[in-house]
Chains A and B, each alone.
Chain A
Amino acid sequence: MMAVPASRPAVAAERPEVEDFLFREARLLDTWDLDTWITLFTDDARYVVPNTDLPGADPRRDLIIIDDDIVRLRARVARLNNRRAHREFPHSRTRRLVTNVACAAAGRDDEVEALANFAVYRIRGGHTDLYVGRYVYRLRRAGDGRLLISYRRAELDLESLAPHGTVSIIL
């Protein structure tokens, strides 16, 4: 086992705990337990999916695919739980592979930045579509000791949403 360098800045959580968190989150999404999933977010959280041609986009200046604050994220969950979200009724099957997790200091003592790679399969209507990319998370240690998501960004490696058509699931 490698020794932790003494100069390493403190992080709010170490990788094993972060991995457990991300894997649990993926299970909640794959089982469509969105009502539990939404409780993993802080009230000031953001969920961002940039366009495929500009993975480093800034949502204040650039056109992106998704830029949800908690209000819109809750609305997204309500919509996906509604049978009138036609793109996801019936719900697709999804399977998430979350790997290559790395943690770093996040700029505030109660947060950790986590990077991870993802492959999200969406299976529906005779088609299997694969979303590939990387996650950027900021996880915050809440007062009760739980980790919560304050920032969640899914940057796609795809050149376009071809043939996916949409980002109708939570990536």
Chain B
Amino acid sequence: MNAAGEPQEGGSVRSFEGLVQDDRAAGLFRVHRSAMTSPEVFAAERRKVFDRNWLYMGHESEIPRVGDFVRRTVNGRPLFMTRGSDGRVRVFLNSCPHRGALICRQPQGHATSFQCFYHAWTFGIDGELKGVPSRELYPDEMEWSEFALRPPAGVDTYRGFVFVTFDPDADGLRAYLAGAVEYIDLVVDQAEDGWSVLPGTNMYQTRSNWKLMVENSVDTYHVSPLHRTYFDYVGGLRQGGPPRQVAFSGRGPAELGNGHVVVETHTPYGRPIAHWDPVFGEDARPEIEAIRDRLVQRHGAERAARMADNIRLLLIYPNLLLNDITAVTIRYVQPLAPGLHETTAWALAPNEETEAARARRIDSYLTFVGPGGFATPDDVEAVESCQAGFEATELEWSDLSLGGTRPAEVGDETALRAFWRRWHHDLLAGSDHPVAAVDPARRAG
């Protein structure tokens, strides 16, 4: 049985077990809307989803030099990430082990040491306690080693992406990422000299449950109806009969293990790497074609075509989206309350990129994604609208059955179902059980 299995009134939770109805034989799949509104579910998922899995912290390129740092909140914890004296990325809980004040109080910067402003305790960039005013007045029994800066239970990096976990029993990051590494590699390998996060961060709050934004991010069903004005705009820029509907083709959504899912499809639209499109202008054509030639040299025609001509929406469960669409973006969706979440988004760019290519990439990003783009505002409107609609508690269920009886095809809600299955599995897991790093039953077939 589940932890909070008591029936409750009205539109509230009946039991955690009943939140997701997954009838595989009939292909029917639905989610009880209290999963998006209930404070009990919200509290439980913070412990059982976010305290148990690996969570995105940042990208190594944000702290290129020894002593660089960025400050960030992950699952409610104040953290900061630094590059230590040995060149390795470290993450610390941003709270003084002495009395609790925030140690790092700037969004980012460079330090030779960290000093708490309250009582002036000083820590080295590797976290060791270096200075305590009036240290001689403390008892001899003080265990000074306990007062080093504390890292979260796990910190690890895969190809530049830094993750943390608060679960001391968690398996390694590589095992957790499971099948997602293939798709991370497909993005990372596009660059010749590594990737950097561009300066400037999209940060916005949305008045909806965080899971609606995750759903939205891997939901191709909504793209044509919701984003008509975007495709009208892009179509208008193209000469000679633009595609006004999105013609997705290619593989269907794939489950990658541990709740990670990917939607990979061929795109008719241009991509900075390395698919020229009239939207980019004739001037850009030689450069994009040269990038493509080098891609073919390095990876062979087939893999190069997959990199350049396909888009990828990769969800790394529970809340990281590595999207390789009109540009490469990192988006990260954090719950704040049942009906409120925050999205942080960065653009990644290859280090070798020319100024012109960089400008194209940024331009390409802006037209679609981002809070001032031609599409994201309508996504925000849609998920906020759903959250508002959930107040009609007589309507208890949201349906996610599209394509439920066939092998996954583009446009099916397969990816959303995979996310929800893993979420439900986590929610029902006993709090004593570490979540299995790889659940073979949910691996892609």
User: Could you tell me which A residues sit within 8 Å of B by CB distance?
Assistant: 49-54, 57, 59-67, 71-72, 75-76, 78-79, 82, 84-88, 125, 127, 159-168
Contact = CB atoms under 8 A, between A and B. Distances in A.
Contacts, number: 129
A161 B371 contact: yes
Given A86-B382, A161-B371, A63 B202 contact: yes
Contact of A67 (B232, B237, B362): B362
A62 B381 CA distance: 26
B362 A63 contact: yes
B71 to A, nearest CB: 11
A118 to B, nearest CB: 16
The secondary structure that dominates the B interface is helix
Given A63-B362, A79-B374, A167-B371, A161 B347 contact: no
B289 interface: no
A49 B372 contact: yes
B286 to A, nearest CB: 20
A92 B17 CA distance: 41
B199 interface: yes
Interface string B389-408: 00000000000000000000
Interface stretch (B131-139, B203-211, B256-264, B428-436): B203-211
Given A65-B371, A84-B229, A162 B203 contact: yes
B366 A87 contact: no
B6 interface: no
A165 B384 contact: yes
Given A51-B200, A167-B371, 8 more contacts: A53-B203, A63-B202, A65-B366, A82-B229, A87-B377, A160-B203, A161-B204, A164-B204
A66 B363 CA distance: 9
Contacts of A54: 199-201
Given A51-B201, A87-B381, A65 B362 contact: no
B57 to A, nearest CB: 17
Given A86-B382, A87-B378, A166-B380, A66 B226 contact: no
21 contacts: A52-B201, A53-B201, A59-B362, A61-B198, A61-B199, A63-B362, A64-B362, A65-B370, A72-B367, A79-B232, A85-B229, A85-B377, A85-B378, A86-B226, A160-B204, A160-B205, A161-B203, A161-B204, A162-B205, A163-B206, A165-B207
A107 B342 CA distance: 41
Contacts of B346: 63
Contacts of B198: 61-63
Given A60-B362, A63-B365, A166 B371 contact: yes
Given A65-B370, A72-B367, A163 B359 contact: no
A62 B199 contact: yes
A168 B205 contact: no
A63 B199 contact: yes
A59 B359 CA distance: 8
Contacts of A53: 107, 200-201, 203
Given A85-B229, A86-B378, A160-B342, A60 B205 contact: no
Contacts of B381: 86-87, 166, 168
Give the interface size bracket for B toward A.
Answer: 35 or more
Contacts of B205: 160-165
The secondary structure that dominates the A interface is loop
A52 to B, nearest CB: 6
B49 to A, nearest CB: 23
Nearest to B380: A165
Contacts of A84: 228-229
A64 B200 contact: yes
Given A166-B380, A167-B371, A51 B359 contact: no
A31 B7 CA distance: 51
A51 B371 CA distance: 10
A74 to B, nearest CB: 10
Contact of A75 (B199, B236, B372): B236
Given A63-B365, A64-B366, A86-B382, A163 B377 contact: no
B204 A162 contact: yes
Q: Chain B CB within 10 Å — which of A62, A65, A162, A166 has the most? A: A166
Contacts of A82: 229, 232
Interface string B184-224: 00000000000000111111111100000000000000000
Nearest to A79: B229
A168 B378 CA distance: 9
Contacts of A65: 202, 366, 370-372
Given A63-B200, A72-B367, A85-B378, A162 B342 contact: yes
Contacts of B443: none
A75 B238 CA distance: 14
Nearest to A170: B372
Contacts of B107: 53
B233 interface: yes
Q: Which 4 A-B pairs have the closest CB atoms?
A: A63-B200, A160-B203, A161-B204, A87-B377
Interface in B225-248: 226, 228-229, 232-233, 236-237
